Chains A and B, each alone.
Chain A
Amino acid sequence: MPNGYSGKMLRVDLNRRSVSVDEHDEAFYRRYLGGWNVVGHYLLNELQAGADPLGPENVLVFAPGVITGAPYSGSGRNSVGAKSPLTGGFGTAEAGGYWGPELKHAGWDGIVVTGRSETPVWISIYDDRVEFHDATPFMGQETKHTHEAIKEAMGGGPVRTCMIGVGGEKLVKFSAVANDVSHFAGRTGLGAVMGSKNLKAIGTRASGKMPVADPAKIKDLAKFMVANALDLAYNLRTYGTGATMTAHVQTGNLPTRNFRDGNFLTAEQISAQAVKATIRLKMESCFACAVRCKKVVADGAYDLDPAYGGPEYEGIAAFGSNTGCDHLHLVAKANELCQRYGLDVISAGCTIAFAFECFEAGLLSKADCDGMELTWGNAAVLPELTRKIAFREGIGDLLAEGSLGAARRIGRGAERFAIQVKGLEVPMHEPRFKHGLGLGYAVSATGADHNHNMQDPGYDQPGRKFDTVKVLGITEPVPVADLSQRKVELYRKVSDWEVTKNSMVLCNFIPWDYVQMTECVQAATGWDIDVEEMTQVGERGLALARAFNVREGFRPQDDDLPERFYQPATRGPLTQGLDRQKLAEARANYYRLMGWDEHSGAPLPERLAELQVPFAAVAAR
C-alpha cells in the first residue's frame, strides 16, 4: 500500500457519463509529486495541439499532491488545470480549503475530465462510488446555494465541494473554480473550461484517511507550525493578506489606476487593518493549518455574506487602488460578488481598471457602459460591473473577454491599456519595483502570475528570508532592482521551487523552509527524496508547461511585458521603467540556464531526457 497517494486517478468521460481509473506507479508520483506536474503530463499526452479551450476536447484536471491531506499546515490545496481560454496556453491555478484533502481521503489522487455533458451535470464521490446527477436546478445559482444544495443531496455532514458559479456557466474567460465556497483556483479562466463541459460541481465525501508513511514526523511538523505560526507568520495570522499596503505605497509596489500612477495615498482605508477594524468577524483556516490567514467579513448595509470569507490583498488592490477606489465596503462587495459568481478577483478588478482607462481616453462612452460613469475612484459602479461581467450583460459581455480580448474588440489602440502578459492580467505586485518578479511575469507559461514567481525584497540582504535560499546554493544577496546573471540564477532556483510547491501542492503562506518542505514529502511518502531532487521536480514542471506552450505556438516574443512597465509611473516612487534590453538579456540567460532553445524557447530534447520527460520533446519540436 503506497503512502501519500493511492495510485489512482479518476477519469470522467462526460460524453458517455462514464468513469474509469488511471493507475500510476510510484515512479510517476516521485517524478511529478502531483498538482502542476500532473496537469502538464495530461495536457501534453492527451490534448491535441490547437484544441479549442472551450471545446469538449479540452482536458480538465483536478490534481492534489502527495502531501494533500497530511495533517500539517499548508497541505489543504489542489491544482486545477487545462488549456486556458484566457491565454490559449498552459492554464493552472491552485485553491485551498478542504476539498483537495477530502478527495485524497476518498482514495483519489486526482480527476481527469474529458468531453462535454449535453445537459448540466454534477458528480458525487463517496469514496470509490461515483455518480452523475442533474445540475439543472443549480444553474444560475450563487456558489453558496449550490454548495448547500449538494451537501444536502449527499446526506449532509462533512461534504466538500468544488464548483463553478454563474461566471463559469457563462464562459467568462477569467471565471474561477471554487472549493467550499470561499477558496478559489482563480487564474487562467478554468471555471469557463468547467462550464464549457456543463460540469457544475463535484461533491466529495470520504470515509477513510489517506495513508502516510511517518505519522510521528507529520505530527512533529504540525506541532512546529502550531508553536511558531504566531511568530514566523505574525502578519498573516493577525491580519491576513493586505496588511503592508502603506509600505507598498512608499516603494511604489501598490498598483494604482491601472498600473499608471505609482502611488495611492489613501491605501490605509482599504488595508487589512481597516478590514479588521470595520467589517471583519473572525479569521478561519484551511485544512489543518495553524496560520489561519482567511478573513471572514460581514456588513448588513452592503449585504456582505460571511459565507464567502473576505477579501485578500489581490482583490483589495485590484478593485481598490488599481481603479482608484478607496471605499472599503464597495471594494469588499465587488470582491464578494466574484466569490458569489465565481470570478478571478485579479482579472476582474484589472479588466475593470482597463475599462476605466478606456473611458477616460474616450474609447468607451457612457452609452457603451450602460449609462455608468467609469471614472477613477467611482467605487459605486464596481459591484454592478462585476455582476454584469458574471452574467455577460451589456458592457459585462465585452469585459468578460478579459482586458486583452476586450481591447481587441474595442480597437483604436485600446491594447495599450490592457496590462497583461499572454492575456493574463498582471497581479498586484509591481515589476518596476521588483525586477526579478518582472522577469517571472514575462517568462511564465500561464502569463502574468505571482503564484510561481519570486518576490525580490526577500533576497536582497541577509536576513530570515534570504537564509532560506542558502540551501539552494545562493550565497550572496541580489538587489531588488537588478536583472544581472546573479538575479537570473536566483530567480531560476526560487521559481523552480515555486512549481515544486504547486506540484506537491503546498501553500505559499506557510513559513516552511526548503528542508522542512522536503521533510513534508518524506513524511507523507516515505521516500528518501532530498532538496536537490525536489528542486528538479519544479524544473520538470516548468519544462512541461513551456513545451505545451511552444506546441500551441507561443514564442520568445510572447515572453514580454506590457509597454507600460518600460516607462516610469506618472507619479510616486517608480521614476524609472524597466530596461528593455536588460530584460531581454535576462530572458535569454534564463533560457540558457533552463536548457531551452534561445530561438524558439523550447526545452531541448537532451534536457527533457535528463528530466525524465522525453515525451515532451515531441510537443516542443
Chain B
Amino acid sequence: MRLSVILVGDVERFRPERGKRFEWELTEGDTPADLCQSLGVDRGEVWRFSINGEIREFDALLHDGDEVMVIPPLTGG
C-alpha cells in the first residue's frame, strides 16, 4: 500500500525529505510502528500519529492512501 507521510518537529531529522510530504510503500496490515521502523525513525522520539486527521497509536492499522503525520512530543515552543 502507498502512504502519504510527513514528519514534524524533531523527528523530521531522520529523513532526507526534511519536512516535505512524501510517498512511502508499506504492506497492507502494517502499523505506524512498522512505518517508524521502515523509515528509520527512533520510536522513542515519536509521540503519536495523525492518520487522516485522527490521533492514533503505534498499533493502529494503516490502509492504502492514508495520510500520516509523525508527531513528536509537543512540548514548549
Contacts and interface: CB of A to CB of B under 8 A. Distances in A.
Interface stretch (A87-95, A123-131, A231-239, A527-535): A231-239
- In the complex, which of the residues A238, A242, A243, A244 has the most CB atoms of chain B within 10 Å of its own CB atom? A244
Interface of A: 230-231, 233-236, 238, 240-244, 246-248, 250-251, 253, 273, 293, 312-313, 429, 450, 455, 457-458, 460-465, 467, 508-509, 573
A241 B9 CA distance: 10
Nearest to B70: A247
Contact of B19 (A273, A429, A460): A273
21 contacts: A231-B13, A235-B10, A236-B77, A241-B76, A242-B77, A243-B9, A244-B9, A244-B71, A247-B8, A247-B50, A247-B72, A248-B74, A251-B55, A253-B74, A293-B77, A455-B73, A455-B76, A457-B75, A458-B75, A465-B75, A509-B77
A244 B45 contact: no
In order of increasing CB-CB distance, the 10 nearest A-B pairs are A241-B77, A463-B44, A455-B75, A250-B50, A457-B73, A234-B13, A244-B9, A458-B73, A247-B71, A247-B8
A234 B13 CA distance: 7
A482 B35 CA distance: 28
B76 A509 contact: yes
B46 interface: yes
B74 A246 contact: no
A273 B18 CA distance: 11
A254 to B, nearest CB: 10
B53 interface: yes
Contacts of B69: 246-247, 250
Nearest to B8: A247
Contacts of A508: 76
Given A457-B47, A462-B44, A463-B44, A244 B55 contact: no
A293 B77 CA distance: 11
Contacts of B71: 244, 247, 250-251
Nearest to A233: B10
Contacts of B12: 234-235, 238
A242 B13 CA distance: 16
A233 to B, nearest CB: 8
A463 B74 contact: no
A455 B74 contact: yes
Contacts of B50: 247, 250
Contacts of A462: 44
A463 B55 contact: no
A250 B77 CA distance: 16
Contacts of A244: 8-9, 71-72, 74
Given A231-B13, A250-B50, A273-B19, A457 B74 contact: yes
Given A457-B74, A464-B45, A235 B9 contact: yes
B74 A247 contact: yes
A250 B56 CA distance: 11
Given A250-B71, A458-B73, A464 B44 contact: yes
B9 A461 contact: no
A238 B13 CA distance: 10
A292 to B, nearest CB: 14
B76 to A, nearest CB: 6
Given A244-B72, A458-B75, 5 more contacts: A231-B13, A233-B10, A244-B9, A455-B76, A463-B47
Contact of B9 (A247, A450, A463): A247
